[in-house]
Chain A
Amino acid sequence: MPGIFLRSDAIVVLSLGGIIFGLVYFAYKKMGYIEELKKTNSSLNTKLSELDAQAKIIIKTDLELNRTQEELDKRITTLLALQKFSQRLAGVLDKDTVFANIEESLLEDLEFSSCLAFLKNNGDIEVKSAINIRQDFLKEDFDFKKILDILEEKNIIVGSIESKHLLEITQSIESQLSLTSFIIAPLKINEEIKGALVLGNLSKDLNEGDKEVAEITARQISQTLENITMFEKLYQSQRELEQRIMERTKELTNALNKLERANKLKNEFVSAVSHELRTPLTSIKGYASLLANEKFGSVPQKVKTRLERINLQADALVELINNILDISRIESGRTEINITKNNLSMSLKECLDLLTPQAKEKNINLNLNAPPGLYANFDKSLIERAIVNLVNNAIKFTPEGKNVELILQDFEDKVKILIKDQGIGIAEEDKENIFKEFYRTKQATNNNIKGTGLGLSLVKNIVKAHKGTIEVESQIGQGSVFIITLPKT
């Protein structure tokens, strides 16, 4: 039985063993499988973690890339904005417009949210621009001057609530302007701080780039302000100059007008007076000669001599009046000049012939130096009158025994008549004046040489009426040359 038992036992044992073995084997197998699974799982996990680690690296690189891109973008937009800003400032000629060009969109492109710009103006502070700044706070005792004082030392202020060393100013800016970060750059005109530009932000941290942008913006504004100041100065002085020129011109025109009016009045007066005078003179002359010719009974010799003198003086007066009349007529264009083709050589000769007796009296040599038969266009009687006047002067102002020469020169389009003497001469300062009416030189009056000072005035007017010129060259004590130039046509 034990055998059986054993057997059965063995069977039990065996079968148990088998089961156990099976179980163990199965368990063993299963465990291996699980191990395997665990292994794959863990390697998968490692791989996934690796994937995550890679993701972190990728993100890190990407973030870096993004930052660079952003920085680049910012630079580009800032540059473009600054460029646009400077273009807009280019033509600006008044200060207010400069600040009006700081617009919100510009600030946005420059990555600032607020702007405050102010300038000193005769000790006062003028706020020129305030964008997104709480205006109500500005009215309170915001310390603008303090900012300018600090700028004198520091040149640029970069501040945020954290910058302790600027605590005072920072606090006032924070509380009064409600900015948490800001840059203050000076506005200078000719190297002198005249104001400041505050660029601020609500949230951003400021970096070197922002500082640069603020500096460039402030410099651009400064430059424009400087240009405007210069322009204003220039404009001012130009205005003053213009004003002065205008005043002067006005004065001159007034004077000229007065002169013209006076001249006209004079001419009118002269011609009126001359007429008035001529009539009685003619009758005086008439009575004098009637008396002298004893038409009213015999006259004693003494009285006769006096009457002849009256007659002569009356002649002189009539001559004078005629001269005055002629001057004013020619001057006012009331004389009709009658220009025709004439033999000038001949005319000169006739004039000389007329004056030869006078010259002989003073023992003066009268010479004519003229090409024969030179024709020109002129008014015969007027030009002859002019020549007679000049030669008459030459004889009058030349001492006895000297020479007077009359020269005629022919040019292509003009002729020149020179009246040359060896007389008392004319001082430099008199050369212009002698052509004015009644003007006589000291030399003439001192030497007691008679005359009224009308001759040259008449000559000048005659020459002018011919569109010619008259000049004089002279040296005191040496003699004078009067040169008439007449156009041929």
Chain B
Amino acid sequence: MGSDRNIQIAAALSVNRYSLEQAVKECSVKIKSQIKTGVIDFCLVFFSLPKISLDLPGEIKRILNPASIAGISSPYLIYNGEILKYGIIIIGFSGINPVVYSLTNIDQQTSAEIEENSRKALKGVLRHKMFSLMLFSNTAVNNNALIEGSQRMLGKSFPILGVSAARKNFTALQPLLTNYQIHNSYLLKNSAVNAIFRNPTIDYHYSIRHGFNPIGKTAYITEKEKNVIKTINGIPAASFYLRYFESNDSPKAADLREKLFMLYPLGIETADSQKILIRRPIRITPDKSLVLSGGIPSDRVRIMISTRQSLISAAGESAETAMQKVNNPKIAIVFDSVSRFKILGAEYKKELLELKSKLGNIPYAGILSHCQLALLESAEPRGSMYVQEHNICTLVIGEHKNARYFFKK
């Protein structure tokens, strides 16, 4: 088993847009130069290609020959201090072999079906499991079934770290950009790929932050249904929200609203009032309800505001917190959000610098995401898991300090 071996992790990027094979080979050369054994157990792939190619998973399999692959496409990639529109990032893991499974047609399944299908895919319950990395299509964003079903299967307090890719343009007028997932040799759509990490030699920690602050008084949701807020303080939710912006009905309103939703999302307190979750309204219904992209865990709602500096600091905190708790850190996986990228504008580079300053010399890679899924850090033994937006989540993976004992057989 892979756990007999030392943990080695190497990340590589290729921006070769013209030859997929060449791009994968470029990555392979870099990875194999760093992983001395040459044996790669697992590949985590982030990619953004001008034209999608069904061959991608196959090429990775053929050239790097890992036991399993999990991957996701996104219009924006993060790689060591840069945001890229085109490229392939491959992170090769040696001595770490997660169990990878996938669920398809996730926009239509109920939580019971998700649970059932996960169970089938896993062929029984895993004895060791530490955390999982779930890469899912943004078609599942409004469907809580994926999370609920997965939690029922893996346990309510099992940390699932999830991410769905960004939409290319941030306006409601544009359809969702197709979003691809990779599971071993398959390129999937409308799916979720879950990699369950289980090697006890791993040390890991993650931290999720948004950098928004509440403003104005707490309001109360008076009527709601799933992820739709119907009324707040007894008046239609949209009217309540828009009161803050003196919005008029100029032709620009739709665009402006999009921007307001991004800059001033709603904040909903968690059930234990410990944290405030960011909820960006997706749209306003004719009866002036607000449709959100995640569940509504409590009735206490606020308007949230941020500054570029508060966002950058949040990124730093997220990286720092994760770094501090990991022994011998080897890589950071960063799920940043497109909204943050948009709000930061030209200053997004500062955020990347801030990340670098906290992560030191370890490589970091990831994507700009649409929404993030994480178990909230909490004082309580078991935190609760929420879909979140506008967050940056940093996962640092290292080697357990007792790892050398595990190697002995």
User: In the complex, what distance in Å separates the CA atom of A73 from the CA atom of B308?
Assistant: 13
User: In the complex, what distance in Å separates the CA atom of A327 from the CA atom of B186?
Assistant: 95
Q: Which residues of A are found within 8 Å of B245, using beta-carbon distances?
A: 59-60, 63
Q: How far is the CB of A215 from chain B (nearest CB, A)?
A: 23
State which residues 295-342 of B face A: CB under 8 Å: 303, 305, 307-308
Contact B244 A202 (CB under 8 A): no
- Number of A-B residue pairs, CB cutoff 8 Å, is 54
Q: How far is the CB of A60 from chain B (nearest CB, A)?
A: 7
Contact B263 A63 (CB under 8 A): yes
Q: Which residues of A are found within 8 Å of B215, using beta-carbon distances?
A: 55, 58-59
With both beta carbons as reference points, the residue of chain A lying nearest to B243 in the complex is identified as A56
Q: How far is the CB of A320 from chain B (nearest CB, A)?
A: 84
Instruction: Please encode chain B, from 82 to 103, with 1 for each CB lying within 8 Å of some chain A CB and 0 for all others.
Output: 0001000000000000000000
User: In the complex, what distance in Å separates the CA atom of A162 from the CA atom of B250?
Assistant: 13
State which residues 246-285 of B face A: CB under 8 Å: 246, 251-252, 255, 260, 263-264
Residue A97 at the chain B interface, CB threshold 8 Å:
no
Residue B127 at the chain A interface, CB threshold 8 Å:
no
Chain A interface category by residue count = 20 to 34
Q: How far is the CB of B183 from chain A (nearest CB, A)?
A: 30
Contact B263 A62 (CB under 8 A): yes
Contact B255 A203 (CB under 8 A): yes
For the residues of A in contact with B, the DSSP-based class is: helix
User: In the complex, what distance in Å separates the CA atom of A205 from the CA atom of B254?
Assistant: 12
Contact B85 A203 (CB under 8 A): no
With both beta carbons as reference points, the residue of chain A lying nearest to B254 in the complex is identified as A203
User: In the complex, what distance in Å separates the CA atom of A70 from the CA atom of B345?
Assistant: 7
With both beta carbons as reference points, the residue of chain A lying nearest to B345 in the complex is identified as A73
Residue A150 at the chain B interface, CB threshold 8 Å:
no
Residue B217 at the chain A interface, CB threshold 8 Å:
yes
Q: Which residues of B are found within 8 Å of A202, using beta-carbon distances?
A: 173-174
Residue B286 at the chain A interface, CB threshold 8 Å:
no
Residue A77 at the chain B interface, CB threshold 8 Å:
yes
With both beta carbons as reference points, the residue of chain A lying nearest to B252 in the complex is identified as A205
Residue A48 at the chain B interface, CB threshold 8 Å:
yes
Q: Which residues of A are found within 8 Å of B174, using beta-carbon distances?
A: 202
Given contacts A56-B244, A59-B305, A105-B85, contact A66 B216 (CB under 8 A): no
Given contacts A56-B244, A62-B263, A203-B171, contact A69 B345 (CB under 8 A): yes
Residue B126 at the chain A interface, CB threshold 8 Å:
no
User: In the complex, what distance in Å separates the CA atom of A47 from the CA atom of B243?
Assistant: 18
Other-chain contact of A51, B216, B255, B305, B308 (Cβ < 8 Å): B216
With both beta carbons as reference points, the residue of chain B lying nearest to A53 in the complex is identified as B216
With both beta carbons as reference points, the residue of chain A lying nearest to B260 in the complex is identified as A63
Contact B216 A69 (CB under 8 A): no
User: In the complex, what distance in Å separates the CA atom of A52 from the CA atom of B307?
Assistant: 19
State which residues 322-369 of B face A: CB under 8 Å: 343, 345-347
Residue A256 at the chain B interface, CB threshold 8 Å:
no
Contact A55 B173 (CB under 8 A): no
With both beta carbons as reference points, the residue of chain A lying nearest to B343 in the complex is identified as A66
Q: Which residues of A are found within 8 Å of B303, using beta-carbon distances?
A: 55, 59
Contact A62 B173 (CB under 8 A): no
Residue A72 at the chain B interface, CB threshold 8 Å:
yes
Residue A11 at the chain B interface, CB threshold 8 Å:
no
Residue A76 at the chain B interface, CB threshold 8 Å:
yes
Contact B217 A48 (CB under 8 A): yes
Interface centre among A49, A52, A205 (most CB of B within 10 A): A52
- Give me 9 other A-B pairs in contact (C-beta within 8 A), A52-B217, A59-B305 excluded: A55-B215, A55-B244, A56-B244, A62-B305, A63-B245, A63-B260, A63-B263, A72-B346, A105-B85
Q: List 21 A-B contacts (CB under 8 A).
A: A55-B244, A56-B216, A56-B246, A58-B215, A58-B305, A59-B215, A59-B244, A59-B264, A59-B303, A60-B245, A62-B263, A63-B263, A66-B343, A69-B345, A70-B345, A73-B347, A105-B85, A203-B171, A203-B173, A205-B251, A205-B255
Q: What 6 pairs between A and B have smallest CB-CB spacing?
A: A55-B216, A73-B345, A73-B346, A55-B215, A48-B217, A52-B216
